[in-house]
């Protein structure tokens, strides 16, 4: 992996924005670095040296990523709320499909055979993942739901 790719990766790790914004930000960073490399090569540097010089001039990826995230994060507040709330709502939907209001399992083997269950289960993961690019929320709520489901199935005494 070149210095440039490593730097871009460091920046992207810090970003948690909507997909379009993140792609645009990364495209702009890449364009700048490619221009710097091209200029250095035209000035007589080897490709490796040009990559290294461009990365050094660009600055620390983590700091840049954090600054970009801080600049953009307020733009999609409503979207962020939906992205955080939707997996939770869908996880609650799954709970209602699997458990009675008192928390007892209502025949989970049968519920797993219902297409509606899997539609909701997959939506809980895939919608936030692809629509909002908020995979941390999606995976966290998904993981939490399944952990609780398994615990309650194995130990029915646990009610949630």
Partner 1 sequence: MSSIQQQMRKGTTTVVILKLLADEGVPMHGYQIIRQLEAQSGGYFSFKEGLVYPRLHQLEREGLLSSEWEGKPGTRRRKVYRMTQDGLCRLAEELDQWRRLSSTLNQMLGVEQEQAG
The footprint of partner 1 on residues 97-136 (CB under 8 A) is: none
Q: Compose the 19-38 pattern: x for residues touching partner 1 by CB under 8 A, - for all others.
A: -----xx-xxx-xx-xxx--
**Three-state SS sequence of 41-65:** HHCCCCHHHHHHHHHHHHCCHHHHH
Residue of 6, 47, 48, 57 interacting with partner 1 (CB under 8 A): 57
Rounded distance between C-alpha atoms, residue 50 and residue 53, angstroms: 5
Rounded distance between C-alpha atoms, residue 121 and residue 110, angstroms: 15
The one segment of 41-49, 67-75, 88-96, 146-154 that binds partner 1 by CB under 8 A = 67-75
Residues that bind partner 1 (CB under 8 A): 11, 24-25, 27-29, 31-32, 34-36, 57-61, 63-64, 67-68, 70-72, 75
């Amino acid at each position: 992996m070149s210095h440039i790719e490593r730097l871009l990766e460091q920046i992207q790790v810090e970003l948690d924005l909507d997909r379009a914004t993140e792609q645009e930000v990364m495209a702009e960073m890449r364009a700048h670095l490619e221009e710097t490399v091209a200029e250095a090569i035209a000035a007589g540097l080897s490709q490796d040296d040009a990559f290294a010089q461009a990365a050094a001039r660009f600055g620390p990826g983590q700091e840049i990523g954090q600054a970009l995230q801080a600049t953009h994060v307020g733009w999609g507040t409503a979207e962020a709320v939906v992205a955080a709330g939707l997996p939770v709502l869908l996880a609650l939907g799954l709970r209602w499909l699997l458990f009675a209001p008192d928390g007892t399992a209502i025949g989970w083997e049968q519920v797993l055979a219902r297409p509606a269950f899997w539609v909701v289960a997959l939506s809980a993961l895939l919608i936030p993942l692809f629509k909002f690019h908020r995979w941390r929320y999606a995976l966290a709520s998904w993981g939490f739901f399944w952990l609780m489901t398994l615990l309650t199935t194995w130990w029915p005494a646990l009610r949630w």
